[in-house]
Amino acid sequence: MTNAVSVSQLTQAIKKTLEISFDDVCVEGEISNYKPHNSGHKYFNLKDSGAVINCVMWASRPLQFEMQDGMKVIVMGRVTVYAPQGKYQIEVSQIQPAGLGDLFIAFEALKEKLNQLGYFDSSRKKPLPKLPLNIGIATSPTGAVIRDMKTTIERRFPKCTIYFRPTIVQGETAAEDIAKAISELEKSPAEVIIIGRGGGSIEDLWCFNTEIVANAIFNCKKPIISAVGHETDFTISDFVADVRAATPTAAAELVTPKLLDDIWEELTLYKLNFNRLLKNHINQKRQQIELNFGKYLKRIIANKINTFNQTIDSIDLQKLVSQLIQNKRNVLSNLELQISSNNPVRPLDKGFALLRHKGRIIKADEPISNFKSVQIIRKFDSADAKIINILPKELF
């Protein structure tokens, strides 16, 4: 092991070999994961169906067109090694368009199709609720996106309830899962739905450029905010959604347009203004009443007295009392008939008899075999009897 070299020594040896061997290259490929830096430097990947290589173009190099993911380009430069990360890359000196990449062509084709179908029409876009208390979110359960959105919503309006549907946002099954998430959140109490994820390459964001997701957004009856990637990223879902947010955090701010403290301040101001208006209205009505009622008070009272007197004079008290007495007599007659019909001894008038044991009437559904002796009660007499034999019912 005496001949071991350090990582830096090995990297420098590789760097020297590569940079000497590939000092001047010309490569054609498709731009992916393009990231213009604030410094003016441009970072992107150059890819084809079999490989990907990192590229960097310094701010000092002139650029004659607007770069974007999906474009086919020809780059000229040299291969270098970025030693701190042990990565090789193309240091681009010149770049020119070579055509449109497959993903970019697919993106533009779907965009044109949906535009013709009216998916992007502003007339069909639904307004966001002014102050939603229930917010639906469909994004990855891991990473900073959901954490930032929850933190923003809870900070700005903690009274709000978040309905979070963990969602796959990258890969082959992502588009179908996003569509299902929209359908599930549409059935929830959520008043508005946010779909989104953090930034990435055009491949990473491709699930938001699919027709199944566009249809799910278009057919949803609740307003949807699309918050996909960074501010410079645009997807099909952004065009179809009711509102496009530059970032997921910006979407969280859109659904909480007012802070809780601001709402309390507004309510306090409304309360003060309402009390002031109510007090002014009461004072105004009081003045009107004092002015008008004081002037016509005697006339109003006299008219009321005359009306009452006339009403009393028009009533025939004797007839009224007679009618009340007759009504009470009718009520008593009805009660008498009810009492007479419910009299338990009335059947005795027809020759029937009652059976009694120790002062208690024996009910019809009680077996006579339960008693050794009974008292027979008729209308005009009664008799004590002993039970000697029980005969079957069919003998009678």
Query: What is the CATH number for 146?
Result: 3.40.50.261
Beta strands in 101-245 (DSSP E): 134-139, 161-166, 192-197, 224-228, 243-244
pLDDT number for residue 165: 96
| Co-location of 45 and 143 in the same domain | no
Residue 309 belongs to a domain: no
Beta strands in 83-133 (DSSP E): 87-100
Angle between helices 211-219 and 174-187 (to 10 degrees): 10
Residue 312 belongs to a domain: no
Q: Determine the average pLDDT of the residues in 335-346.
A: 71
Is residue 296 predicted with pLDDT exceeding 70?
no
Is residue 329 predicted with pLDDT exceeding 50?
yes
162-195 residue pLDDT tens? 999 999 999 889 999 999 999 999 999 999 999 9
53, 62, 94 from 40: Cα distances, Å: 20, 11, 15
Q: Determine the average pLDDT of the residues in 60-82.
A: 84
Is residue 396 predicted with pLDDT exceeding 60?
no
| Co-location of 148 and 250 in the same domain | yes
Are residues 61 and 93 in contact, defined by beta-carbon separation less than 8 angstroms? yes
Q: Supply the CATH number for residue 59's domain.
A: 2.40.50.140
- Give 260's DSSP letter: H
| Co-location of 148 and 253 in the same domain | yes
| Co-location of 196 and 82 in the same domain | no
| Co-location of 139 and 242 in the same domain | yes
Work out the angle at residue 87's Cα, subtended by the Cα atoms of residues 86 and 89, and round it to the nearest 5 degrees: 150
Q: Determine the average pLDDT of the residues in 278-290.
A: 77
At which of 200, 228, 257 does a domain end? 257
Residue 16 belongs to a domain: yes
% helix, strand, coil for the chain, step of 5? 45, 25, 30
Angle between helices 102-116 and 211-219 (to 10 degrees): 30
Is residue 298 predicted with pLDDT exceeding 90?
no
At which of 257, 290, 319 does a domain end? 257
| Co-location of 253 and 172 in the same domain | yes
**Which residues have a Cβ under 8 Å from the Cβ of 361 and sit 6 or more positions away?**
344, 354, 355
Amino acid at 395: L
Cα–Cα distance, 163 to 127 (Å, whole number)? 20
* Sign of the torsion angle spanned by Cα atoms 213, 214, 219, 225: positive
Cα–Cα distance, 42 to 73 (Å, whole number)? 14
Residue 111 belongs to a domain: no
| Co-location of 22 and 96 in the same domain | yes
| Co-location of 166 and 249 in the same domain | yes
In the chain, the number of structural domains is: 3
Q: In a 3-state reduction of DSSP, which class is residue 351?
A: coil
| Co-location of 20 and 83 in the same domain | yes
Who wins on pLDDT, 313 or 96?
A: 96
Domain, as residue range, for 363:
353-395
At which of 58, 84, 100 does a domain end? 100
